[in-house]
Amino acid sequence: MEGLGKALEDLTGAYREEAPEDAAYPYLVFSARRLTEEGGGQVYALEVSAWDQHPYYSRAEGMMDMLERKLHRCNYMAGGRLIRIFKGARQNVPDPDRTIKRVREQFGMHVYEMEE
């Protein structure tokens, strides 16, 4: 997952798993979970969250809109892998701290290892 994680950091501009404590809002965080293997590739759930400290969801939603436009139907080559991503389920996630806004989307991702 290390090479794939680096490729996803580069592609999304997001932090992997969690942001550093000093990260400036708004920011993105991703995690990837392998679901299955099919058709010569591996299928993942790529979850990305846009985090913001703002009275409204608008900035986090705008950030996710831009990422969704970038990733939907994306074909990305990195480290001997072809990564294909498709938009998926998206929702606002309430936080106990009402000043924190989070928008989460679970993208579908297919990863194909290139044969040498």
What kind of fold does domain 2-113 have according to CATH? Answer: STM4215-like (3.30.2000)
Q: What DSSP state is assigned to residue 96?
A: S
- Please tell me the predicted confidence (pLDDT) of residue 1: 57
Q: What percent of the chain has pLDDT over 70?
A: 97
The two tokens of residue 63 are: 């950030």
* Cβ-contact 66, 17 below 8 angstroms: no
The two tokens of residue 7 are: 């490729």
CA 103 to chain centre: 11
Segments of the chain with pLDDT less than 50: none
pTM tops 0.85, yes or no: yes
